[in-house]
Amino acid sequence: MGIVLFYLKKIIGMMLMPIPLTLVAMCLAFLLMKKWPKVAKFFLFCGILMLGLTSWNPVANTLIATVEHDYPVFDIQQPVDAVIVLGSGHKDLSNTPTIMALGNSALFRLEEGLRILKANPNAQLFVSGYSDEMTEPHAEVMRRAAIELGVQPNRIKAFPLAKDTEEEANTMKPYLEGKRAALVTEASHLKRASIFFEKAGINIIPAPALYLGSEKSDWQIDATGAYKSQRAFYEWLGRGWQWIKNQKNSTHF
Torsion angle of the four alpha carbons 84, 184, 233, 12, in this order, in degrees rounded to the nearest 10: -10
Q: What average pLDDT values come out for the chain (253 residues) when binned by 10 residues? A: 66 86 94 93 95 96 95 96 94 89 94 97 96 89 96 96 92 96 97 96 96 87 95 93 80 54
Cα dihedral 77, 78, 84, 85 sign: negative
pLDDT of residue 108: 96
pLDDT of residue 11: 80
Ranges for all domains in the chain classified under CATH 3.40.50.620: 74-210
DSSP letter for 82, please: E
pLDDT of residue 253: 47
Question: What is the Cα 194 distance to its own chain's centre?
Answer: 12
The Cα 181–Cα 206 span in angstroms is 9
pLDDT of residue 79: 97
Q: Are strands 180-185 and 156-159 parallel, antiparallel or unpaired?
A: unpaired
Q: Which residues contact 97 (CB under 8 A, 6 or more apart)?
A: 148
DSSP letter for 100, please: G
141-161 exposure pattern, b = at least 16 Cβ within 10 A, e = fewer: bbbbbbeeeebeeebbbbbbe
C-beta separation of 47 from 26 below 8 A: yes
The CATH number of 74-210 is: 3.40.50.620
pLDDT of residue 134: 85
What are the DSSP E strand ranges found in the chain?
A: 82-85, 124-128, 156-159, 180-185, 203-208
The Cα 136–Cα 125 span in angstroms is 19
pLDDT of residue 250: 64
pLDDT of residue 75: 96
pLDDT of residue 249: 72
